[in-house]
């Protein structure tokens, strides 16, 4: 069958900053995992007209039914082989601990020339688990969109999730530059900024910007949960914005975060060691009632927040 050519169609300007020109990049896209990230990607692809048809794969009938009823996917299946057969793009969007098993299961059913990508919050472990199962003639472009919420499932997905957020690609030395460029193009058309990094560097950066903050939030909320009787009730009743913000982060999906910590252990432990030293230093400053040191430290950190706002990532 002749390959349909990329179709161009003009559309009006969008408030969200999405592309003005629609270009079909893929005939058939398969999502393994149609939760927050998979569903948001499918909706962002639809918004930009990047895919002719989208199939979703999830284990539970409820997930598949919701994704179909919300128009996230055109077809839904629980069968990995059915999902990826004939797909020219396969997106693995499940917790990172499952990615190796999924890559093994789909390997024999991938179409020659297809691109496999992922969205995992950890990159080196995913590369190690997935790359050995990618057959010759299929391209693997690992990716991580730095965007998310504490909500899960297809009902949590929305097309604007990636607008003006960064997506980091970690192509392997043997990844085809053409396939990497196509995935970068796809993310830009979905509203994202795109950067390339080495997988282990990505894991170190994310350990400090995302994994450690989640660990702190889970720990603080855990400490509050362990408080006894009245004190625990009062923490909930009078929770000031600081604690409230931590509870939002600590409400993130337990399976996804279990897998992130299990798969980025070295980087997290290194950053945790530095953080523990800094925390001990702050403990000393407070014990010595060193007002100047406290003020200096808090002024320095305020500048980081200003930098994030200036970079439009707040
Ligand atoms: P999610 O909302 O919990 O969705 C996970 C999806 O995967 C669900 O559709 C689930 O449906 C399906 N699933 C789970 N295990 C599966 C398996 N073995 N086979 C087939 N389907 C399976 O999770 P998410 O937030 O989208 O996260 C997905 C990935 O994105 C993770 O790797 C995470 O590290 C990464 N990520 C997350 C965020 C974030 O903020 N949430 C941000 C960036 C990247 P069933 O349970 O019905 O199978």
Q: What is the pLDDT of residues 31-80, one digit of tens each?
A: 999 999 999 999 999 999 999 999 999 999 999 999 999 999 999 999 99
The confidence score (pLDDT) of residue 88 equals 98
Q: Which single residue is written with the structure tokens 């058309």? A: 189
User: What does the pLDDT average to over 147-154?
Assistant: 95
CB atoms within 10 A of CB 182: 18
> Lowest-pLDDT range, 2-6, 44-48, 58-62, 161-165?
2-6
| Token duo for residue 197 | 């990094």
| Lowest-confidence segment of 2-6, 51-55, 58-62, 164-168 by average pLDDT | 2-6
Residues 89 and 181 in one domain: yes
Backbone region of residue 207 per phi and psi (left: phi > 0; alpha: psi in -120 to 50; beta: other values): alpha
**What percent of the chain is modeled with pLDDT above 90?**
80
In a shared domain, residues 303 and 271? yes
pLDDT in tens, 210-229: 999 999 999 999 998 888 87
Q: Which CATH number do you get for residue 219?
A: 1.10.3660.10
Closest CA to 209 of 258, 262, 148, 161: 148
Q: What's the total number of domains in the chain?
A: 2
154 plus 247 within the same structural domain? no
DSSP at 1: -
Q: What are the tens digits of pLDDT across the range 234-292?
A: 888 888 778 888 999 999 999 999 999 999 999 999 999 999 999 999 999 999 999 99
Q: In the listed set 163, 197, 231, which residue is the last one of a domain according to the structure?
A: 197
Domain containing 38 — which CATH number? 3.40.50.720
Residue 308's pLDDT band (cuts 50, 70, 90): confident
C-alpha 95 to ligand 1 mean position (Å): 5
Q: For residue 101, give the ligand 1 atom closest to its CA.
A: 18
Q: Give the pLDDT confidence score for residue 8 in this predicted structure.
A: 34
Instruction: Express each pLDDT in 277-300 by its tens digit.
Output: 999 999 999 999 999 999 999 998
- Ligand 1 atom 25: the closest Cα is on which residue? 36
Do the domain assignments include residue 3?
A: no
CA distance 90 to 32: 7
The predicted structure's pLDDT at residue 231: 81
* 82 occurs within a structural domain: yes
- Taking residues 8-18, report their average pLDDT: 38
- Are 247 and 284 members of one domain? yes
Could you tell me if residue 243 is inside a domain?
yes
Q: Which of 151, 229, 224, 139 is nearest to 184 (CA)?
A: 139
* The last residue of a domain, from among 197, 226, 247: 197
Residues belonging to the chain? 314
Better pLDDT: 2 or 45: 45
On the question of pLDDT at 16 being above 50, the answer is no
Q: What is the DSSP letter of 134?
A: P
Looking at the fold, whether 157 and 223 belong to one and the same domain comes out as no
Residue 25 CA to residue 65 CA, distance in Å, equals 26
Do 103 and 212 belong to one domain?
no
Q: What is the 3-state secondary structure (H, E, C) of 260-278?
A: HHHHCHHHHHHHHHHHHHH
C-alpha of 96 from chain center: 10
Cα 154 to ligand 1 centre (Å):
9
Asked which of 143, 165, 197 is the last residue of a domain, the reply is 197
Distance 156 CA to ligand 1 centre (A): 11
Residues 26 and 114 in one domain: yes
Q: Which of 127, 155, 125 is nearest to 142 (CA)?
A: 127
Q: Does residue 193 share a domain with residue 286? A: no
How many percent of the chain have pLDDT more than 70? 93
Has residue 4 been placed in a domain?
no
**138: CA distance to ligand 1 center in Å?**
23
If DSSP states are collapsed to H, E and C, what string results for 88-133? CEEEECCCHHHHHHHHHHHHHHCCCCCEEEECCCCCHHHHHHHHHH
> How much of the chain is helix, strand and coil, in % rounded to 5?
55, 15, 30
Residue 94 lies in a domain: yes
Ligand 1: residue whose CA is nearest its atom 7 = 33
Instruction: Give domain status of residue 1, yes or no.
Output: no
- Structural domain harbouring 36: 9-197
Strand partners of residue 195 = 168
Residue 58 pLDDT = 98
Query: Is 184 part of a structural domain of the chain?
Result: yes
CB 191, CB 312: distance < 8 Å = no
Q: Could you tell me the end-to-end alpha-carbon distance of the chain, in angstroms, rounded to an integer?
A: 48
Helix (H, G, I), strand (E, B) or coil at 85: coil
Residues 75, 133 within the same domain: yes
Residues 253 and 193 in one domain: no
In a domain, 217, yes or no: yes
Ligand 1 center to residue 267 CA distance, Å?
22
Residue 18 CA to residue 120 CA, distance in Å, equals: 23
Domain shared by 47 and 184, yes or no: yes
Mean pLDDT of 155-163: 98
Of all protein residues, whose CA lies closest to atom 21 belonging to ligand 1?
58
The alpha helices in 49-123, defined as continuous H runs, are 61-69, 80-84, 99-106
Same domain, 30 and 73: yes
């Amino acid at each position: 069958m002749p390959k349909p050519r990329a179709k161009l169609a003009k559309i009006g300007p969008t408030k969200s900053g999405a592309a003005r020109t629609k270009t079909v990049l893929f005939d058939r896209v398969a999502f393994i995992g149609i939760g927050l990230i998979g569903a948001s990607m499918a909706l962002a692809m639809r918004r930009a007209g990047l895919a002719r048809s989208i199939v979703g794969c999830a284990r539970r009938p409820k997930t598949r039914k919701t994704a179909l009823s919300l128009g996230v996917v055109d077809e839904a299946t629980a069968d990995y082989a059915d999902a990826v057969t004939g797909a020219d793009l396969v997106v693995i969007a499940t917790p990172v601990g499952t990615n190796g098993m999924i890559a093994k299961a789909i390997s024999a059913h991938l179409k020659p020339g297809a691109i496999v990508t992922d969205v995992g919050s950890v990159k080196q472990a995913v590369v190690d688990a997935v790359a050995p199962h990618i057959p010759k003639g299929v391209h693997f472009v690992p990716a991580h969109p730095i965007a998310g919420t504490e909500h899960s499932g297809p009902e949590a997905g929305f097309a604007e999730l990636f607008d003006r957020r960064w997506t980091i690609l970690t192509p392997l030395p043997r990844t085809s530059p053409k396939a990497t460029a196509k995935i970068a193009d796809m993310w830009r058309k979905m509203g994202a900024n795109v950067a390339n990094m080495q997988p282990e560097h990505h894991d170190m950066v994310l350990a400090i910007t995302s994994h450690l903050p989640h660990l702190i939030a889970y720990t603080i909320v855990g400490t509050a949960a362990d408080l006894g009787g009245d004190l625990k009730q009062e923490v909930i009743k009078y929770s000031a914005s600081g604690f409230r913000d931590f509870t939002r982060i600590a409400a993130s999906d337990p399976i996804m975060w279990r897998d992130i910590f299990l798969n980025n252990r070295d980087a997290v432990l290194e950053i945790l060691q530095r953080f523990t030293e800094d925390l001990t230093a702050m403990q000393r400053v407070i014990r010595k009632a060193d007002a100047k040191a406290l003020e200096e430290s808090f002024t320095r950190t305020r500048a980081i927040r200003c930098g994030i706002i200036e970079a439009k990532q707040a």
